[in-house]
Amino acid sequence: MPSFKDFAPVPVRPALWPVGRRPAAPVSTMALADGSGRDLALALAIAEEQLYGTLRENELLRASNQALMTALSDVSRQNSEAYHLAHHDALTGLPNRLMLLRRLQDGIADAFVRQQQLALMFIDLDGFKVVNDRYGHTTGDKLLGVVARRIVGCVRSDDVACRYGGDEFVVMLSNLHDGSLAVGLADEIRRQVEGRYCIDGIELTISASIGMALYPVDGEHHDTLLEVADASMYRNKSARAARQALAVGKAAATAEPEPKRRSRVRSLRAGA
């Protein structure tokens, strides 16, 4: 018959709990010296090892998920930045030609469904080349930035103002019941653009020639509207120089295009 000494405790390796995760009550086992006691101690030690491994794997999984979410967020941000750069003018921050064409196509489709009108304005700055030649491109770039802000300040939140290139801007006015609002906005844009400027202490004055096309009166396709608005702008530029009455739409685009404007029309069609 075994004596009391045969039941002396057998040392068991401490539980391998992660830092900060040890249970409030420590796990302890009185293992007996016979075979069944050693098996129990070994089983508990293995269970603790497995539990620690599971906890460690969970921590690693959470860290991996966090790293993955961070990487996906970075990719999404980079994609958004790349999209913005591809569709906006770096100098003025306005939508560029590519964005305008997309918005114009969507605007025409929406106007067709709503049975409304849409106006497209071509704005050309008169005298801007003189500013560039006399004061340099840095001053000219700053002037373009101020002009862009003045144009945006004239249009509504759902309209689109873009820098088409060089000293040219295009404005798309949507949700129009008639063309009178567009004519009024064109006059306001001209007054704002033709105001005085102070760039780096230099007093500057420029003027603007604006041409307009109306959907569906002047055309039902985006390249037709761009062409009519461009022709209208050149016609009105000549009329302002000759102090003639200004015309809108096809009435201003009946003259034979000049060689310079022919190349611009081809560029518009290519861009569309």
Q: Which pairing describes strands 160-165 and 196-199: parallel, antiparallel, or unpaired? A: unpaired
What are the CA-CA distances from residue 196 to residues 123, 177, 214, 236 (Å)? 17, 33, 30, 22
d(CA 94, CA 145): 9
Look-up of token digits 């025409």: 108
- Are 223 and 272 contacting, i.e. CB atoms less than 8 angstroms apart? yes
70 contacts: CB under 8 Å, gap ≥ 6: none
124 is catalytic: no
The number of C-alpha atoms within 13 Å of 258 and in the hemisphere containing its C-beta is 10
Of residues 124, 167, 218, 230, which has the active-site annotation? 167
d(CA 90, CA 178): 34
| Residue 17 DSSP one-character state | P
Look-up of token digits 């309209």: 159
- Are 143 and 204 contacting, i.e. CB atoms less than 8 angstroms apart? yes
Catalytically active residues are 167
